[in-house]
Structure 1
Amino acid sequence: MFRGSRWKIAVYGRDHGVPHFHIEGPDFRCSVSIASFDLIVGTVPAAVLAEALDWARPHQALLMQTWQELNG
């Protein structure tokens, strides 16, 4: 969906729980709520989280639409 320099944001089909997206990198993976942008589970460096959320916040509707299409 979106890639930073050493990480990516992904939304997967057949996923469970509240609507969320993943931030993934070579040494970390976490899930973040689309509605609140709270960290649900996993670890992520603070700088990566900040950078990813800077992209995710203005794209919240796109993230939710993608989640619903893949998991609806």
Structure 2
Amino acid sequence: MPEISRFFGIIITMYYNDHPPPHFHVRYNNQKAIVSIQTLEILEGELTARLFKLVTEWAILHQVELMEDWELARDNQTLEKISPLE
């Protein structure tokens, strides 16, 4: 599962050939979630409100890049790193 970004200890990844809808995976300590790229809803798992706010703030800034990486992953191509939240 390629890591595409990391910030404040939050790890953002995507799987190759993953199931729709387009999404990314979030890990932070014991918390895990799958987040929709298009709606930024948590599809599976749970995040604290503070963590979810940081993740959505980052994702809003990088939605186009996330969709580009989703398409690359669907085609089994190398994913691009995405800038962290600063």
- TM-score after normalising by structure 2: 0.76
Q: Residues 29-52 of structure 1: CA distance to partner in whole angstroms, max 9, x if unpaired?
A: 101111111110101111111011
Q: Counterparts of 1:1-72 in structure 2 under 5 Å? A: 1-72=4-75
User: Which residue identity does 1:31 align to in structure 2?
Assistant: I
Q: Residues 2-61 of structure 1: CA distance to partner in whole angstroms, max 9, x if unpaired?
A: 212221111221211200011111201101111111110101111111011111101000
* Structure 2 unmatched ranges of 5 or more: 76-86
Q: Based on CA coordinates, which of the two structures has the bigger radius of gyration?
A: 2
SS in structure 1 at match of 2:27: strand
Q: CA RMSD in A?
A: 1.1
Q: Hey, what's the Cα distance between the residues in 2 that align with 1:2 and 1:14?
A: 19
User: Which residue identity does 2:33 align to in structure 1?
Assistant: C
Which segment drifts farther, 6-15 or 24-33? 6-15
Q: Which runs of 4+ in 1 moved over 2 A?
A: none
Structure whose residues are more often helix by fraction: 1
SS in structure 2 at match of 1:3: strand
Number of aligned positions between the proteins: 72
- TM-score after normalising by structure 1: 0.89
